[in-house]
Amino acid sequence: MSFITNLWKQPKITRPVRSLRPKKNAITDDYVLSKTVLGVGVNGKVLACTSKKTGEKHALKVLRDVPKARREVDLHWRACVSDYIVDIVDVYENSFGGQKCLLVVMECMEGGELFTRIQEHSEHPFTEREAASVARQICAALSHLHHLNLAHRDLKPENLLYKSKARDSVLKLTDFGFAKEVTSKMQTPCYTPYYVAPEVLGPEKYDKSCDMWSLGVILYILLCGYPPFYSASGAAISPGMKRRIRLGQYTYPDAEWKSVSSEVKQMISGLLRTDPAERLSMEQVLCHAWITGQGVVHPQEPLMSARVLAEESHMWEETQEEMAHALATMRVDTDKVTRVKEMDTIANPMLERRRKKQNVDAKTPAGSVGSPV
CATH superfamily entry for domain 25-107: Phosphorylase Kinase; domain 1 (3.30.200.20)
Position 294 pLDDT exceeds 80: no
Residues 6+ apart with CB under 8 A from 162: 109, 110, 111, 112, 113, 114, 117, 169, 170, 171, 172
Judge whether residue 148 has pLDDT over 70: yes
Examine domains 25-107 and 112-363 and report if their fold is the same.
no
Which pLDDT belongs to residue 11? 42
Per-residue confidence band for 198, with pLDDT thresholds at 50, 70 and 90:
confident
Q: Which residue has the higher pLDDT, 11 or 227?
A: 227
Q: What is the rounded CA–CA span in Å between residue 173 and residue 163?
A: 10
pLDDT (average), residues 246-273: 92
Quote the CA–CA distance of 127 and 148 in Å, as a whole number.
32
pLDDT in tens, 314-341: 555 555 555 555 444 443 333 332 233 3
Tell me what pLDDT residue 123 has. Answer: 66
Does 154 participate in catalysis according to the annotation? Answer: yes
Place 293 in a pLDDT band, splitting at 50, 70 and 90.
confident
Q: Where residue 313 falls among pLDDT bands split at 50, 70, 90?
A: low
pLDDT score recorded for residue 214: 94
Pairwise CA distance, residues 143 & 9, whole Å: 11
Side-by-side strand order, sheet with 99-107: 31-40, 45-51, 57-64, 99-107, 88-96
**Alpha-carbon gap, residue 189 to 195, rounded angstroms:** 13
Cβ atoms 109, 160 nearer than 8 A? no
Domain boundaries, the chain: 25-107, 112-363
**How much is the mean pLDDT over the chain?**
78
* CA 272 remoteness from chain centre: 15
Of 83, 154, 175, 361, the active-site residue reads 154
At 106-123, the pLDDT tens digits run 999 999 999 888 777 666
pLDDT digit string (tens) for 39-69?
Answer: 777 677 889 999 999 999 999 999 999 999 9
More confident residue, 142 or 238: 142
Q: What average pLDDT does range 140-162 have in this prediction?
A: 93
> Which pLDDT tens digit goes with each residue over 169-184?
999 999 999 999 988 6
CATH of domain 112-363: 1.10.510.10
Question: Do the beta carbons of residue 114 and residue 171 sit within 8 Å?
Answer: yes
Contact 347, 240 (CB under 8 A): no
13-27, 336-350, 356-370, range with greatest mean pLDDT = 13-27
Q: Looking at 86-95, 276-285, 312-321, 341-350, which range is the least confident one?
A: 341-350
More confident residue, 87 or 358: 87
**pLDDT value of position 163:** 95
What's the predicted TM-score (pTM) here?
Answer: 0.79
Average pLDDT over residues 155-159: 91
> What average pLDDT does range 114-140 have in this prediction?
84
